[in-house]
A and B are shown apart, each in its own frame.
Chain A
Amino acid sequence: MAPRICALCHTSKAMLRRPKTGQQICRDCFFFVFETEVHNTITEAKLFKPGDRVAIGASGGKDSTVLAHVMKTLNERYRYGLDLFLLSIDEGITGYRDDSLETVKRNQQQYDMPLKILSYDELYGWTMDAIVAKIGKKNNCTFCGVFRRQALDRGAAMLNVDHIVTGHNADDIAETVLMNIMRGDISRLGRCTCICTEGEDTIKRSKPFKYAYEKEIVMYAYFKKLDYFSTECIYSPDAYRGHARAFLKDLEAARPSAIIDIIHSGEAWAVKEEVKANQNAQQTCKRCGYMASNELCKACTLLEGLERGIADAGITERGMKKLEAQGPAPDNLRTIPFFRLASHQQNGHPAIEVEAPT
């Protein structure tokens, strides 16, 4: 078979077929179009302004590693004027997160960015290893998800950044759309395709890879020989997401545009005002100051359950009743440090020392 020629430069040998467009392109044109599309996503959504301090949520996995590389490249190429940081959460999973954090530490050197690692242990007093030892492998992903979300915001506040970017890609978002439909979760369905979420008192979060296919992210990492970590979490993976993922990959095999089509479907959804009104209004957790939809935020509820030996308190109604039946929380209960947004701190300086690249 004669080698195919790149559809863009008409000179070099085509090395991959783009899933979004079916175009066959060479390696250099691929780098250029991939980076340019992310740049267009960033500028069309007006994600940043010069001088912004931006933390890249870094797990050491493919998506966040490619994100760090591309953010650095674009910041230099288009002079965004951003101060970039790496922010990693250490869930305390021996044999998984400890290894992936080694990758993040190498990325810190390779990309010359300050790195902050915040651990569940220092924030909540519990590692995931300890949580799983206590509650087993059921519901542990709920703890991890709730704790991670809050830990990222708290890490961002410590770094005094304006903005967190995460490596969520088009496949992830399409999966989430499917999961929210299957669960009938209207409020999440309404917002899960937003490129940027920003509440009044939350740190801005966005997804520059919203339209980037996983296949292209992996190809980019492979062709650029980026250093990333790829091991499945040793605790039971999110089984429900696994089904959505397998289904999505089958759809993609039959019709590659399926992923972007599902995202467009999610974006086209409009949630009626009266449906929105029935959802709990956002409030501030009375114990830790983090945003909450009840008196206590989800993390405080989960933590109290762990501390008082009723681990399903934050998960089932029955668990919550059991906790309430035991009376109010004891005074000496371990709690999460009070949450303060970066903007409420002294301007200009991170609230903590960050590890600078050496």
Chain B
Amino acid sequence: MMSSPKTIALKIEFGGGMELLFANQRSHKLSIPARVPVDNSTKELQAEPDSSNTKPTDIVFLIHYLRDHLLKEREELFIENGTVRPGILVLINDTDWELEGEGDYKLQDGDEIVFISTLHGG
């Protein structure tokens, strides 16, 4: 079997006012495990979890991870029914996530994920 990295490094960008929920910081660097619990629990993450009940790290997990570890306020403006609130655009390496399988997209080492709120001001 091919050996895969146990963690993946990601670059996260927030824009359009989304950054206000994340300590007003637009750019973040993260390192998260390459496999994560299927229930998206972000507590007690292990670099080498049991293979049962885990999945490759996807965007849905990332959204939960951001909520639990980086979000500073008003979680209801970020997450709704297990995904981002309608009106938040997500780009995966500058491509609309709707072309990449949305929440099911499996994150790769070095990916850049952008979250932009469309809900602020005109």
What residues make up the interface of A, taking CB atoms closer than 8 Å to B?
1, 4, 13-17, 24, 59, 61-64, 100, 167-169, 172, 214-215, 217-219, 222-223, 229-233, 245-246, 249-250, 252-253
Check if B86 sits within 8 Å of A253, measured CB to CB.
yes
A15–B94 contact, CB under 8 A? yes
9 shortest A-B CB distances, which residue pairs?
A249-B86, A16-B96, A230-B17, A61-B121, A63-B122, A230-B120, A17-B98, A249-B87, A253-B86
Contact with A along B87-106 (1 / 0, CB 8 A): 10101001110111100000
B116 close to A (CB within 8 Å) = yes
- Report the minimal beta-carbon distance from A87 to chain B, rounded to whole angstroms: 15
- Chain B residues with CB below 8 A from A217, complex form: 118
Q: Judging by beta carbons under 8 Å apart, are B100 and A1 in contact?
A: yes
Nearest opposing residue in chain A for B120, CB measure:
A230
Contacts of A230 in B (CB 8 A): 15-17, 117, 120-121
* A64 nearest in chain B by CB position: B122
Interface residue? B20 (CB, 8 A) = yes
8 example contacts (A-B, Cβ-Cβ < 8 A) are as follows A59-B121, A62-B122, A222-B15, A230-B15, A230-B120, A232-B20, A246-B86, A250-B86
Name the B residues within 8 Å of A59 (CB-CB). 121-122
B49 shortest CB reach to chain A, Å = 25
Q: Which residue of A lies closest to B98 (CB)?
A: A17
Q: Which residues on B sit within 8 Å (CB–CB) of A214?
A: 87, 118
Are B96 and A219 in contact, with the CB atoms below 8 A?
yes
Please tell me if the beta carbons of B95 and A15 are within 8 angstroms of each other in the complex.
yes
Pair A219/B89 contact, Cβ less than 8 Å = yes
Looking at the assembled complex, report how far the CB atom of B112 sits from the nearest CB atom of chain A, in whole angstroms. Answer: 13
Q: Is the CB of B122 within 8 A of A16?
A: no
Q: In the assembled complex, which residues on chain B have CB atoms less than 8 Å from the CB atom of A24?
A: 99
Given contact pairs A17-B99, A62-B121, A218-B118, a sample of 8 additional A-B residue pairs in the complex whose CB atoms are under 8 Å apart: A16-B96, A168-B122, A215-B89, A219-B96, A229-B121, A230-B121, A232-B121, A246-B86
Interface size on B, residues (CB 8 A): 24
**Which of B91, B94, B120, B122 touches A167 (beta carbons < 8 Å)?**
B122
Chain B residues near A4 (CB-CB < 8 A):
99
User: 1/0 per position for B15-41, CB-CB distance to A under 8 A?
Assistant: 111001000000000000000000000
CA A15 – CA B96 in complex, angstroms?
6
Q: How far is the CB of A276 from chain B (nearest CB, A)?
A: 29
Partner of A17, one of B96, B114, B117: B96
Using CB atoms, name the residue of chain B closest to A30: B96
B47 at the interface (CB under 8 A from A): no
Q: Which residues of A contact B85 (CB under 8 A)?
A: 249
B118 and A245: CB pair below 8 A? no
- On whether the beta carbons of B99 and A233 are closer than 8 Å, the reply is no
A-facing residues in B64-102 (Cβ within 8 Å): 85-87, 89, 91, 94-96, 98-101
- Known A215-B89, A252-B86; judge A245-B119 contact (CB<8 A): yes
Question: Nearest Cβ distance between residue A272 and chain B, in whole angstroms?
Answer: 33
Are A61 and B120 within 8 A (Cβ)? yes
Contact check, A231 vs B20: say whether CB atoms are below 8 A apart: yes
* A100 / chain B contacts, CB cutoff of 8 Å: 121
Q: Chain B residues with Cβ under 8 A from A253's Cβ?
A: 86
Is the pair B15, A61 in contact by a Cβ cutoff of 8 Å?
no
> What are the residues of chain B within 8 A of A249 when measuring CB–CB?
85-87
Partner of B95, one of A13, A61, A167, A233: A13
Q: Which residues of A contact B100 (CB under 8 A)?
A: 1
Please indicate the chain B residues that have their CB under 8 angstroms from the CB of A16 in the complex: 95-96, 98-99
Chain A residues, Cβ within 8 Å of B116: 218, 222
In the complex, which of the residues A167, A218, A219, A230 has the most CB atoms of chain B within 10 Å of its own CB atom? A230
Closest to B122 in A: A63
**Which residue on chain A has the smallest CB distance to residue B119?**
A245
Assembly CA distance A176 to B50 (angstroms): 52
Report whether A232 and B95 are in contact in the complex, using a CB–CB cutoff of 8 Å.
no
Task: Tell me which residues across on chain B come within 8 A of A62, comparing CB atoms.
Answer: 16, 118, 120-122
Interchain CA distance A214-B117 in the complex, whole Å: 11
Complex Cα distance, B119 from A138, in Å, reads 22
Q: With A1-B101, A17-B96, A24-B99 in contact, is A232–B120 under 8 Å at CB?
A: yes
Q: Mark B38-62, 1 if CB is under 8 A from A, else 0.
A: 0000000000000000000000000
- Give complex CA distance A331, B101 in Å: 68
